[in-house]
Amino acid sequence: MALPRVYRKPSELPVAIPVFPLGGALLFPKAVLPLNIFEPRYLSMVDAALVGHRLIGMIQPAGIVSPATPSDTDSPNLAEVGCAGRITGFQETEDGRYLIALTGITRFRVREEIKHDGAYRIVRADWEAFAPDLDRQPALDESARLRLIDALKTYLERGAMKADWGAVEEAPVDTLINSLSAGCPFTNPEKQALLEARTLEDRCAALISLLQMERPGQGGGYVQ
C-alpha cells in the first residue's frame, strides 16, 4: 500500500486517475466523503487505487439532477470538473463490500478519457487551474466565517433544524465552507456550481447566497 503523502503542487499529482461518476455525492477539497462500494467494477477500482496512489476522482455525470443516483447508462458523459480524494479509511465487510472514506485533495478538469481494459473509467486530469486547492492555509479572514455562520443560523432556523455549533465554530474556515457545500441539501447543479467556484472566497459567497435564499429540504440535493 502506498504511504500517505501531502501534495504541495500539481506536478506531484498523477497524470491519470480513476473516476467514480455519481450524481449528488460531491467531494470538496479537505472534506471527507464516506462511500459504500459494492459494484464489481468499483471494487476493482478501489483495489487498484489501494496498491497505487490511493486517489479516486469523484465526478458528477453531466446533466444529472436527481439525488445521489447513477446515470441511466453505464458510461454517461462526465461533468467537466470533479474532485480527487485520497482513500484515508478502508473497511471490508463480510458480504464483500468496501466502506471507504475519501479525503478531498484538489479539484481537476477532465482533459480526456483514457481507454483501458478495466471496467471502471480513467481520465487524464488537468490540475493546474486548481493549484490553490493545495494551499495549506486558507486565504480568508475571520469575517468570512462570521458571515457564513450568520447565514447558516438563519437557514437552519427556517427549517427548525439544529447544529453542533461547537464543531461549526471550531472548524477551519475552508473545512467549514467545503463541508457545508457538500452536505447541505442543495440541487446537484447548485453543488456543481459551488465545486467549480474559482476561489474559496467565491465559493463562500455563493454558499452564503444559497443559504440565504433556500429553506432546508427544498433544494433536493444529496444530504451527507
The DSSP string of 107-166 is EEEEEEEEP-SSSSEEEEEE-GGGGGGG-SS-S--HHHHHHHHHHHHHHHHHTT----HH
Residues of the chain where predicted confidence (pLDDT) is lower than 70: 1-4, 63-74, 137-139, 214-224
Cα R_g (the chain), whole angstroms: 17
Q: Are 160 and 172 in contact (CB under 8 A)?
A: no
How does the average pLDDT of the chain come out, rounded? 86
How far from the centroid of its chain's Cα atoms is residue 224's Cα? 11
Provide the pLDDT for residue 171.
85
- State the chain's maximal CA–CA distance in angstroms: 51
pLDDT at 220: 39
Q: Could you tell me the three cell numbers for 132?
A: 490553490
User: What's the pLDDT at 211?
Assistant: 93
Q: What is the pLDDT of residue 222?
A: 29
Q: What is the pLDDT of residue 164?
A: 83
Q: Using CA atoms, how far apart are residues 29 and 134, in angstroms rounded to an integer?
A: 8
pLDDT of residue 224: 33
Instruction: Give the Cβ contact number of residue 91 at 10 Å.
Output: 9
Output the pTM of the full model.
0.84
